[in-house]
Amino acid sequence: MKINLEFPEDFLWGAASASYQVEGGIYNVDWTEGAKIGKVPMADDRVDHYHKYEKDFALAKELGQNCQRISIEWARIEPEEGKFNEREIEHYRKVIKDMKSKGLEPFVTLWHFTIPIWFYKKGGFLNSDAPEIFARYCNYVLRELHNECKYWDTINEPIVWASNGHMRGNWPPFKKNIFEYFKAIKNQAKGHNLVYKENKSRYPNIEIGIVKDNINFRSDNMPWNRIIRKFTDYHWNHYFFTKIKNNYDHIGLNYYFDSFIGRKPNWYLELPKNDMNWTLSPEGIYFVLKDLERYKKPIYITEAGIADREDKYRASYIKDLLFYVHHAIQEGLPIKGFMYWSLLDNFEWALGYEKEFGLIHVDKKGHRKVRESAFVYKRVCESNKLEIE
Ligand code: BGC
């Protein structure tokens, strides 16, 4: 028997990407500095979305989508401290206009992980003026582009960024220092708050949100592990919200996996894994969404996806995710859109180009090929419903 699960009218369906991961031609950021000393791979120009965005958005449109998430590259806009590059603003203006002309509602993130070298050299988010420096860049972009786009997000995944760069030491600035970790988070939050306060009063028609990376934490029944689970859940999923109280209009949720504290049961160990070695746990999105209900804000799923070079699990994973998203909507959660990560195969940070998340495969020469799973997602986007057997 087939059942159709209908999504709300006006639901946004799309895909996401981030400037450094797809644009090419960006060689003045902390990541390129890290690549020069061999600590992370170098992103190259193979995807070249900077020049091919019209074609890519045309593909997204053909795939039935009606929104698209991108990010703006800070180092293009402000290549030297305080000097803003109007040509690059015009580039992004064209990009956003192109999306709109194709019927794709733009979602724009102001900062997705990479920082200009000049800021990196000043200590990045550890600099005591970091909040103002970050706000100055965002204010400039919003002054120029607020008329072009309604949905803005300041920061992509503050906790992931701070933990990889300041605690685990595997992303720039390659630090392992708990105090600096907290300082970086504090300064990101302060920067976000400045941007929100200054720009909401100036441009009341735009929405300014935050993109949070939430994990579904599970544990076994050992009391100690249950306590660790509670604490980790609070820190990873909610701490940042306590720092930006009342200063956001929507939540962008990025969901990828769950994390099991304690002894994993056999049924869990047997679940399939994706190419990142992450356990496929689509139901986790439901728990993570329910956990955001307390903030009483509209929620856009700004990323959820799977690295799956063979395209073996992608279609069913997307359908499973959407089943749980639909269930959460039925329970009254204000979920307004879903953006699959990612539109294109791209630079997967410290893992380079090996991991392929795209609805569209991109080879080394930049040729695009739509994957079979993208057509399954297309049926959902076009009909605004999920068909299940
Ligand atoms: C990030 C993306 C990344 C994806 C898959 C998210 O943490 O926002 O930039 O590619 O996860 O790892």
CA 90/CA 141 separation, integer angstroms: 11
The rounded distance, in Å, linking the Cα atoms of 11 and 313 is 25
Nearest atom in ligand 1 to the alpha carbon of residue 342 is 10
Q: Whose CA is nearest to atom 10 of ligand 1?
A: 348
pTM beyond 0.95, yes or no: yes
Could you list the pLDDT tens digit for every one of the 389 residues in the chain?
899 999 999 999 999 999 999 999 999 999 999 999 999 999 999 999 999 999 999 999 999 999 999 999 999 999 999 999 999 999 999 999 999 999 999 999 999 999 999 999 999 999 999 999 999 999 999 999 999 999 999 999 999 999 999 999 999 999 999 999 999 999 999 999 999 999 999 999 999 999 999 999 999 999 999 999 999 999 999 999 999 999 999 999 999 999 999 999 999 999 999 999 999 999 999 999 999 999 999 999 999 999 999 999 999 999 999 999 999 999 999 999 999 999 999 999 999 999 999 999 999 999 999 999 999 999 999 999 999 98
- pLDDT at site 192: 99
What pLDDT score does 297 carry? 98
Question: Ligand 1 pocket: which of 168, 285, 288, 303 to mutate (most atoms <8 Å of CB)?
Answer: 303
Q: Is the Cβ atom of 356 under 6 angstroms away from ligand 1? A: no
Neighbours of 10 (CB within 10 A): 10
Which pLDDT score is estimated for 240? 98
Q: 361: CA distance to ligand 1 center in Å?
A: 17
Q: What is the whole-number distance in angstroms between the Cα of residue 244 and the centre of ligand 1?
A: 22
Specify the pLDDT at position 1. Answer: 87
Q: Which of 163, 303, 159 is nearest to 242 (CA)?
A: 159
Identify which of 49, 212, 341, 342 to mutate to test ligand 1's pocket (most ligand atoms within 8 A of the CB).
Answer: 341
Residue 364, CB-side half-sphere exposure with 13 Å CA sphere: 1
Closest of 129, 30, 152 to residue 82, by C-alpha = 129
Query: Which pLDDT does position 389 carry in this prediction?
Result: 86
Q: Is the CB of 275 under 6 A from ligand 1?
A: no
* Cis peptide bond prior to 265, omega within 30° of 0: no
Whole-number Å distance between alpha carbons of 113 and 125: 11
